[in-house]
Amino acid sequence: MHLLVASIGFGLVTASILAIAAVGFTLQFGVTNILNLAYGAIMTASAFLAYAITTSGLGIWAALAICSVASGIGCVLLNRAIYTPYVRRGTGLFGMIIVTISVSLVVEFTLQAIHGSSFVSLSLPATRSYHFGAMVFTGLQLAIIAIAVLAMLCVHVLLRYTKLGKAMRATAADPVLARSCGISTGRVIDLTWLVSGAMCGLAGVVLVINVTSFDTSTGGEFLIPIVAAAILGGVGQPYGAMLGAVIIGVSTEVAAGLFDPTYKDMVSFVILVGFLLLRPQGLFAEIATQKEVVA
């Protein structure tokens, strides 16, 4: 029992990281209709930027802010410079997957060429640990949970109560209709890349705050639970992704705590396969039909 509660505690931390990443991933896909498999590589890039910033003497909080902004701007540029031109040239849905994986390889292995394949860890401020019953959190882990809750609230407010959020949902539902209603879909898509890119950068940094060490493939490997959480919630559904993140995060950590850490990825896999067989459209949504990407 004690072990179960303790591993639920770890699960909450994992779920928080996963929620930030999965909501960004699914938002990107839902609004822009591009399944960006370079997401993990961008998280890694952001983590290494954080490493560079913290080793240069600035604190981890400065690194979080800088990495989010840099990743957001980077994603806007990535979309403007690479993705949109390919879409305009008539690259199909599967062609775009090849484009995003190419970008992923270029980013990941450029980092590896620069940095090498050694593991590094961030130098983090020492924090005391807090006990809640059997759950133990370090101060940083509490901060991660707080950041995730704050980020989810921001996404909720953005989508429900702002004009931009309304425009995003309209663009996701029907880009042509949205455009003919006077929504500047190009601007909405730029802003979506900015927001989701910032979440991607944020997720990359909080991921490596929570692990002891990381290398250039860390973000790419984290893509499995991200995709699992996104599929679980229905790809393109931010609220589904939040729920998916909690389910995947907690269940993987409980499995790791009760049985064996090596079963972590397998649990995501079993949940994923089960969902693909029983409810491939996810918990929340009808599956996105064969629509083309908005240029």
Partner 1 sequence: MSAAWQFYFATLIVYLGVDILAVWGLNVQFGIAGIGNFAFIVFQATGAYTMAVLTLGPPPVGSFQQYIGGASLPFPLALLAAGLVAGLLSVVIGLIGLRRVRADYQAMVFLVVSLIATSVVNNLTGLVNGPAGLSLIPKPFAGLGFGLVSYDWFYAGMTMGVCAIAYLFVRRLTRSPLGRAMRAARDNEHAAAAVGKNILGLRMTAFVFGGVLAGISGALLVAFIGAWAPGSWLYPETFVFFTAIVVGGAGNDLGVATGALLVPIVFLETTRYLPNFAAPGVVDALQWVMVGLLSLAFLWFRPRGLIPERRQRFKPDPATQRRPAPVLASGPAAGEKVGLDD
Provide the minimum distance between the beta carbon of 100 and partner 1 in the complex, in angstroms, as a whole number: 9
Closer residue to partner 1 (CB): 174 or 221: 221
Provide the minimum distance between the beta carbon of 223 and partner 1 in the complex, in angstroms, as a whole number: 7
Closer residue to partner 1 (CB): 137 or 275: 275
Instruction: Kindly state the DSSP code that residue 295 receives in the 8-state scheme.
Output: -
Instruction: Kindly state the DSSP code that residue 212 receives in the 8-state scheme.
Output: S
If DSSP states are collapsed to H, E and C, what string results for 222-289? HHHHHHHHHHHHCCCCHHHHHHHHHHHHHHHHHHHHHCCHHHHHHHHHHHHHHHHHHCCCCCCCCCCC
**Listed residue (25, 28, 22) closest to 188, CA to CA:** 28
Provide the minimum distance between the beta carbon of 117 and partner 1 in the complex, in angstroms, as a whole number: 6
Closer residue to partner 1 (CB): 1 or 114: 114
- State the Cα–Cα distance between residues 254 and 256, nearest whole angstrom: 5
Provide the minimum distance between the beta carbon of 57 and partner 1 in the complex, in angstroms, as a whole number: 26
Provide the minimum distance between the beta carbon of 263 and partner 1 in the complex, in angstroms, as a whole number: 7
Decide: 190 and 79 in contact? Cβ < 8 Å. Answer: yes
Closer residue to partner 1 (CB): 120 or 124: 120
- Binding residues (CB under 8 A) for partner 1: these are 35, 37, 82, 86, 89-99, 101-106, 108-110, 112-113, 116-117, 221, 223-224, 227-228, 231, 235, 262-263, 265-266, 268-269, 272-273, 276-277, 280, 287-290
Helix (H) or strand (E) holding 205: helix 185-210
Closer residue to partner 1 (CB): 71 or 216: 216
